Structure 1
């Protein structure tokens, strides 16, 4: 019985490892911190583009 229980434990750990590796493959990030840093980077870019578009819109409206 003890051997069966040990094998079940090993199988469960294998399943957990496979799930974790699939998650890394899907997201491309190893840690939550990496994902958060990437999202912060994207948000900065989006804010910059929003400011640029507003400036273009304001300058265009001023010429009318």
Structure 2
């Protein structure tokens, strides 16, 4: 994630990372991070949030939502 931030010219505080607490929770990772980010005030109603996940076999998915 640090490489992605650097290549996009974004600061680390634009990323919500919780893998250190849970490890890889597979498909639940995005939902858990989104809920935690909202509860902590990191994201608020009306914010644009880019959700991206990478999986085994180089699968990935991404979407931009207005929260």
Task: Answer whether TM exceeds 0.5 for this pair.
Answer: no
Higher helix residue share: 1
Instruction: Decide which structure has the larger Cα Rg and report it.
Output: 1
Please give the range of the TM-score, normalised by the shorter of the 2 chains. Answer: under 0.3
- Relative contact order, higher structure (CA 8 A, sep 6+): 2
Q: Scaled by the length of structure 2, what TM-score is found?
A: 0.27
Q: Scaled by the length of structure 1, what TM-score is found?
A: 0.28
